[in-house]
Amino acid sequence: MARPTDCAQAQRGDVMNTSDDHRVQKVDVIDKLRNRIARLRQCLGNRPRPIITLTYAQSIDGCIAPFGGGTLQLSNSKSQQLTHQIRTLHDAILVGINTVLCDDPRLTVRLANGNDPQPIVLDSRLRFPLDANLMRDPCIRPIIATGQDACENKENQLIAAGARVIRVPLQADGLIDLSQLFLRIGQMGFDSVMVEGGSKVITNVLASQIADQIILAIAPKFVGGLRAVNPNEAWEQMPQIHDVHCQMMDGDLVVWGQLRSANVLNRSLFPQTGVSRSLPECPANAKGEEPYDEC
C-alpha cells in the first residue's frame, strides 16, 4: 500500500510509482540536476549567456533517429518523464528546424508538474510551417532564430501567426551563429536553455563548446540510423564530460555530467572579460574544491 508521503509526492508528480527503488532513482537524478543548475547559476551569475544543457535520447549504438531521419521512440516512459522534468528546470528549449519538420513536437511539459519552457527553433531559411504544433499553444509561441537575409514575407507570415522572429548573424557555413544567438537569448532574459536536438544541432552545440552540461538517456537498442554526433572536422574541439554520474531508469541508462573543453579557451564567448569557460572564478574553485562534484 502506498504510504502518505508517496501519495503526496505522486500527486505532485514527484514519483512514478510506489516502489522505493524507483522513487530513489528519480529523486536522485532530478534533484542532482536541480542542484547542479542552481550551482551553475551561482558560478556563472555574471556571464552574459544562459546556462545550456544538452539533452537527448540515443540508442546504444549512438543513434537518435532512423536512417534518413524520421521519428523514433527510443526512451522508455520513465526517461521521457525525466525529460519533461528537465524541461521544467529550464527557461527555454531549443531544437533545429529539421526536428520541427520531422516530429512536429510541442516541447511542452506534460509528464511532470512545472512550467513549459519557451521554444526556440534554429531556422536560418524560415522553413518553419505556419501550422506547426508549436504554433498551437495560445500562451507560448515559438521564437524562431533566423539569418539576416531570410525571406521577409515569410517572417511577416510567422509574426502574424504569433511567432517571434529574431535575426542573428550566420556562421561561415550558413548556420545560425550559436554564440551570438545565446548572447541574444540571455539579453532577452532567458537564464537557462535546454537543447534537445536533432543531430546537426547536437553536433554543432558540442563543436562550438557552448554547452555547460549534458544529460543523455541511452536506450538498450540498436538502431543503425542517424548518429547523434556527426563526423566533424572540428573533432579536436569536442568537449569532454566531467563529474560523470549515471543511473539506470527502468532499463535506460541516464548519464549526465559537466561539459568542459580540455584545453581550448573559448574567448569569443566572453569578449569583455576574456574569462575561460572552465570557470576559474567559481567560489568552489577558489577554495580549491572540485567545482561541481556535489551537484
Residues that bind ligand NAP in the complex, under the rule CB under 6 A: 56-57, 64-65, 69-71, 74, 95-99, 102-103, 122-125, 127, 175-176, 178, 196-201, 204, 226
Q: How far is the CB of 268 from ligand NAP (least distance, A)?
A: 14
Contact 187/27 with Cβ under 8 angstroms? no
What single-letter DSSP state applies at residue 119? Answer: E
Distance of alpha carbon 241 from alpha carbon 261, whole angstroms:
9
**Residue 148 · residue 177 · CB < 8 Å:** no
Q: How far is the CB of 25 from ligand NAP (least distance, A)?
A: 20
Instruction: Compute the distance between CA of residue 248 and CA of residue 260 in angstroms, rounded to an integer.
Output: 24
Comparing CB distances to ligand NAP, the nearer of 69 and 282 is 69
* Least distance between ligand NAP and beta carbon 33 (Å): 17
CB-wise, 64 or 112, nearer to ligand NAP? 64
Phi and psi (nearest 5°) for 290? -65, 130
Report how far apart, in Å, the C-alpha atoms of 16 and of each of 11, 25, 191, 211, 248 are: 10, 10, 29, 29, 14
Which of 16, 94 has the CB closer to ligand NAP?
A: 94
Are 258 and 292 contacting, i.e. CB atoms less than 8 angstroms apart? yes
Smallest gap, in angstroms, from Cβ of residue 57 to ligand NAP?
Answer: 4
Backbone phi and psi for residue 128, each to the nearest 5 degrees, phi listed first? -55, 125
Residue closer to ligand NAP (CB basis): 15 or 120: 120
CB of 196 to ligand NAP, least distance (A): 5
Please, which residue, 51 or 216, has the CB nearer to ligand NAP? Answer: 216
For the bound state, the minimum distance from the C-beta of residue 69 to ligand NAP, rounded and expressed in Å, comes to 4
Q: Which of 219, 184, 182 is nearest to 94 (CA)?
A: 182
Helix (H) or strand (E) segment spanning residue 120: strand 118-122
Going by C-beta distance under 8 Å and a sequence separation of 6 or more, which residues neighbour residue 262? 239, 240
C-alpha cell at 226: 542517424
Nearest residue (CB) to ligand NAP, 9 versus 98 = 98
- Among residues 163 and 176, whose Cβ is nearest to ligand NAP? 176
Closest distance between ligand NAP and the C-beta of residue 256, in Å? 14
